[in-house]
Each structure stands twice: as C-alpha cells, then as structure tokens.
Structure 1
Amino acid sequence: MSESFVPSNMPSPLVFERVSREQFEQELQPMGQPFVMKGFAKHWHIVKSGLNSPNDLRRKAPQLNEAISVTRILAEEKSRMFYNPDMTGMNFGVASLSLDDCLRRMQETADNGKDDSPDYAAQCVPVAKYFPQILNNIDNPLVEKGLEPFIWFGNRVIVAPHFDETDNIAVVAAGRRRFTLFPPQQTKNLYIGPLDFNPAGQAISLVNILKPDLDAHPKYAEAYKHGLSVELAPGDAIYIPTPWWHHVQSLSPFNVLINYWWSQNDFGTAKPLGALLHAIQAFRTLPKPQQDAFRALLDYYVFDEANASREHIPEHAHGWLGELDDEKRRVLEHWIKNFSQ
C-alpha cells in the first residue's frame, strides 16, 4: 500500500475552538460539512477526572448487574469489525453480559497489552439507564435540552465507513479516536456492502481504509482524494452531518465516546432511509425508459433547488409542494399509506 493512502495524510475537517448555538444553527450546520470542536467537553467531570481504564468507568456505574450487549473481536481480526472471509457472517461475536463482567473483560484486555487479547466494545448504550449519575454533567448546548445521549466504550475497535440516518455530535470522553470521513457523493467509489446484511444495521464500505487493496477496489483512490481525517483527544467533539460516511478507529487500550443523534426535520413516518428502501423496491425493477422517466420526476419534485415545481402555482394552492404543516403532513402520510397498500 502506498503511504499516500493512509488516513493521517488526509486533510482535516474544519476546526473550531468555540461554537455558539446561534453560529451552529445559522452558519455551520447549513454547510452540510463535518467539523471539529476542540475542547468542547473539557469541563465535563468525566473528562477532567480522566477515565483511564474500565475500572474508572465501573466506579461511575451503579447498575453493574444490568445486562448489556457486548461485541467481542478476536485478536487475529486486528480490532476490525467486519464480515467473515466469505461474507456468510461476521468476524465478531455478540453476547449479553452484566455491565460488571463487560468492564472486567475490557480491563483484562487493556492490562494485557498483548496482540493475543480479544477486543471488547459496548455500543450505543443509553447513558440515562446505565450511567445516570453522569447525565447532568455532560451538557451539550448545541442540541435541544433533554436529548438522550449514548455512550460507547471498549478497547481498540475499528468501525468500517458507514453513515447515520440523522446528524451526530460525537464527543471523546476517554482515549483517542480517529474519524475518517467521506462525502455522500463518493458513495459510488466506496464499494458499499449489502443493505440488509451488515455488522450493525447500516451498510458499510468493504474497503479496509487502513490498508486499502486498490487492485480489488481501484475506485477508492478517487474517494481518498475527497476524504477528511482527524484524531481527537478527550474533550474534543466532531459534528457529522447525515449522510456522510465515517470510519471510526479507537486508538487507546480503553476508549469512551458519548454521542447525540437528532434530525433537523420532523420526517413523520417518511424517514429518508425508509424512502430510499421504498425507492429500491419501486424503481429498480422498472424498464430503463421508466427509470429515466421517474428520475426526471424525482429531480423535478424533490431535488430541484429552484422550486420549479411550484413557482408557477399561486402560493395558497402549493399544497404538498409548499411548507408542510401538521395537517398537510397527516394527509400526506395517509395518502402514502394508501399508495403502499
């Protein structure tokens, strides 16, 4: 592999020292670009106190007997959550353990420091349920008050490029993590795997971006040109807009991340990924002339920024082409359900 294809040689996303709620909502979020906020959570107690080990986190978890889903990756997989060699299953196992057992196993791997130890990870864990005592000390002024945060903790785990359905602010609370990101326009160059069979619910890139095989994935060279990468320390945060692809590499023997997901829009029942799946069902099997025809309709009604579909219609008659209030949304959802039957 050429050294020119390592993530650390990619440019960094934009970096800010301070971001106000007004700046975030009016200037930065509308750009649709990821950016880093240095020292965003340096005042959080869990950051200031230094979570250096699973034992440190154990002392903040009163619900140690609560069951939790834990991922175990054998040492030979080099920390990478992925498919098995013939893509008939995954290269990791998942078990339900007590939180105490989970943290004990993570501590053993962190203490071992050898290449023959498995890596463990607990992912997307509700903070309020398992670590309620830290909930009041992890403020995030950029999102609505009361938005539920999630905590991710474990050893040196590597998550393949994937995208989230909603916007994401991810905050490193312990250890170091590298985020490598690709814009949605590079999807065609990332060799995306199956939608319905994947490690964690979202389709992933089949490219090992830490050691890309350009014979197997030659188009990745183009995706690489558009990638961004940054290493974050405790207290740093990153904003990842949907649907940017992001690869996450936990670099320390023990890592903790807290994240917040939310949508900029009230989608009702018509969520974007669901609409994409419905579009696959509706359009993929059509004859090519009909596919081209519906592509034109989608461009006209959905993706035309000039609002050509409504500019010639009196505003009072825009209907579903205009702003969707609650009543219009309810009627539209009723029509969608009827069309789906």
Structure 2
Amino acid sequence: MSAMPGPIEELHDLDPAQLHAQLPGWTTPKVIRGLVTRWPLVAAATRSAQAAVDHLKQFDHGTLPVTATTAPPEAQGRVFYNADMRGFNFRREQIPLKVVLDTLLKYAPAPALPSIYVASTTLDSFLPGFRQTNALELGVDDPLASIWIGNRSRIAAHQDVPDNLACVAAGRRRVTLFPPSQVGNLYIGPLDFTPAGQAVSLVDFAAPDLVRFPRFSAALAHAQVAELGPGDAVFIPSLWWHHMEGLEAFNVLVNYWWRPVPAWMDAPMNALMLSLLALRDLPPAQRAHWQAMFQHYVFQADEHTAAHIPEAVRGVLGPLDQAGADHLRGVLRRRLER
C-alpha cells in the first residue's frame, strides 16, 4: 500500500493585518485558514458563481484578451502532454475575459466538462483596480499578483523559483506539496519542452502507475496535502513541488510571487542548463573535481573564500551588485560566443 501524504501545517485566526510581519520569515509550507474571507470577491463567490463573475467583470480591462487553455472532456481536467509527449493535450486561445467567464457559467451544470483554464494572468494589467478592492499586505517587495480562473483542473506537480502565496477566492482547491529533495522520486519530464514553462511530474496523481513510477511511493511519504475553500490561502516556499487541483465547476485563485533577492540576480535555471552543457557528460573524475569547485565557490562560499585576494582585484569573487552582475553577464556572453 502506498504511503499517504501528511497534512500541511495550518494557521487559524491570523489577522490579515499581521501577515506582513510573519510572511517574510516563513521557509516551510503553511495553510492560512480564512486569510482573505473579507475580500469582496470571496463574499460574492460564497453567494454564487454568478455573483463572483459579476464582481470580476467590473474590473475587466475589456480590450486585452486573456490566454485560455482548453482541453476536451476526456482529458478530465489534466493539463498535460499528449500520448507520445511530442505535443500537448490542450490548445491555447486568445479570448475576452467576459467570454471565458460566461462560458464557465454555461458549462457548469454539464456532467462532462471541457477544461477551461486561464492561468497566471497579471492582475494589474487585466483587472485594474481589483487589488485595491481585494487588498492584502504581504510585507515583501514588489510581489507579482496573478489570477487563475477555470473549472475542474489537474495541474501536474511542478516547482517555481519564487516564493508563492496562493489564495482561494472561489471554489475549492486541493494542493499536494513535496520538498525539493523529492525531485528524483517525482519522475520529472523534459526541462526544455513543458506544458506551461516549468518541468512537470509525469505521474498522474489520480491514478499513479507504480509499475512505471515505483519511486513515487517514496515521494508520497514526504508529501503534504490540504483542501482549501474560499478565503483560505497556502504558502508554497521556493522550489517546493506542488500539484494543484481545481475541484469545482468554477474556481478562482489569486496568487503572489516574489523573490527575496536583489533584482540583478539571474535565474538559477540558466545555471542548471549551462551545467548540463558543460559538466554533465564529463568523465566521472572530472565531474567530481568540478563538484568540489562548485562547493567551494558557490554552495559553501563565505567571507573566507576570497579573503586571500586583495579586495580591489577580486573581480567576480567579490560582492556582487548591479554593476558587478552586468560585468559578469558580459564575461559570460563573450565566453558563450566563442
């Protein structure tokens, strides 16, 4: 019998006004029950899906179509690859938001729904004024706020580099989390050909094939799960794998991404991709040597790493700032163009 996920740690009765004092220090997943129950959108959704749609429509930019992902009923909400993994089981269309919302209401009573999923749509661009009416003070610098709208959906386990606070505004969601260390047990697909930009687990969580993916049982032993209703939120730390399910015929989620690092820092995935090109296929002894180099200069770097070099000539080994990052990018570009 497969291991069962444990619960995500829960916080109750957290005053939203106190979130900004606590959120920046969190490093492990948390469910915050009732965090945004005072949002007008949540109040509307509690009355009906129609009321929630009416609330969203009042902020619709009107001239910017959203990107809607659609899939046939037989996909059963799973946004994924097609059978041979050379393509996908969905298509994307540019559609006015009000058409998406009306279509979701139209299909809601149907027993077998085509999947409709508007993912990661920037609030300030597409729903100007929404954030002011449905406000939340996070206490972090420059969060990117997005909205996700759809019917029943299953989004394969994936990870994001930023920290993430996801708030359920309508419907219900089930979130299953895995620590970053479970990468080897989740059977991650291609890094450079993905359904939505991030590499995803190939395991179907609704029917895991433990013959093909036997280590997934070990991943489940480390999993954490929670079901969220309107007003609930979940904090997903950077790089935690998360499988997201929309459980109702109408679901709305608002999330905030942020990275508590200087803006000049590059995307870590770029370093991984370059490492695949430069290191992975070296002879084992040479890989071991480079592992020691990375440990010394990156993963265990401290104030002693370059202390023996005069400060004025430490170059890329000195403290980085915007100017230093620009210089380092220039060095990399020249090296890659050789």
Which TM-score applies when normalising by structure 1?
0.88
**1:220 aligns to 2:219 (yes or no):** no
Q: What is the deviation of 1:45?
A: 1.3
> Match for 2:91: what amino acid?
G
Distance 1:312 1:24 in 2: 39
Task: Give the alignment of 1:153-232 within 5 angstroms.
Answer: 153-232=149-228
Q: 1:277 aligns with which of 273, 279, 289?
A: 273
How big is each residue's C-alpha offset from its partner over 1:299-325, in whole Å with a ceiling of 9 and x where there is no partner? 111112766634666878766445423
Task: Report if the CA contact (8 A) 1:53-1:110 is conserved.
Answer: no
Structure 2 residue identity aligned to 1:24: L
CA RMSD of aligned residues (A): 2.4
Q: Which amino acid aligns with 2:153?
A: V
What is the aligned partner in structure 1 of residue 21 from structure 2?
22
The correspondence for 1:297, drawn from 293, 299, 306, is: 293
What is the alpha-carbon distance in structure 2 between the residues aligned to residue 101 and residue 244 of structure 1? 34
Give the share of equivalent positions with the same residue, in percent. 35
- 1:227-266 counterparts in 2 under 5 A? 227-266=223-262
2:64 equivalent to 1:69: no
1:238 alignment partner, SS class: strand
Look up the match of 1:134: 130
Aligned to 2:79: 81
Q: Alpha-carbon deviation of 1:278?
A: 1.4
1:35 match:
30
Q: Distance in 1 between matches of 2:301 and 2:228?
A: 36
Structure 1 residues 316 and 146: alpha-carbon distance in aligned structure 2, compared to 1, 3 A threshold:
closer
| TM-score, normalisation: structure 2 | 0.89
User: d(CA) in 1 for partners of 2:182 and 2:336?
Assistant: 31
Q: Distance in 2 between matches of 1:64 and 1:111?
A: 27
Q: CA shift at 1:106, angstroms?
A: 1.2
**What residue identity is the alignment partner of 1:23?**
Q
Q: Residue 92 of structure 1 corresponds to which residue in structure 2?
A: 90
Residues in 1 aligned to 2:309 and 2:95: alpha-carbon distance in whole angstroms: 60
- Counterpart Cα distance in 2 of 1:191 and 1:270: 26
Structure 2 gaps, min length 5: none
C-alpha distance in structure 2 between counterparts of 1:140 and 1:59, whole Å: 17
Gap regions ≥5 residues in structure 1: none
Higher deviation after alignment, 90-99 or 189-198: 90-99
Give secondary structure in 1 for the equivalent of 2:6: coil
In structure 2, distance between residues paired with 1:192 and 1:316: 44
Deviation at residue 149 of structure 1 after TM alignment: 1.1
Please state how far the C-alpha of 1:100 moved relative to its aligned partner.
2.2
TM-fit CA distance, 1:64: 4.3
Q: Which residue of 100, 103, 107 corresponds with 1:102?
A: 100
Q: 1:272 to 1:54 in 2, by over 3 A?
A: farther
Number of aligned residues? 330
2: CA distance between counterparts of 1:163 and 1:249?
15
Q: CA deviation at 1:291?
A: 1.6
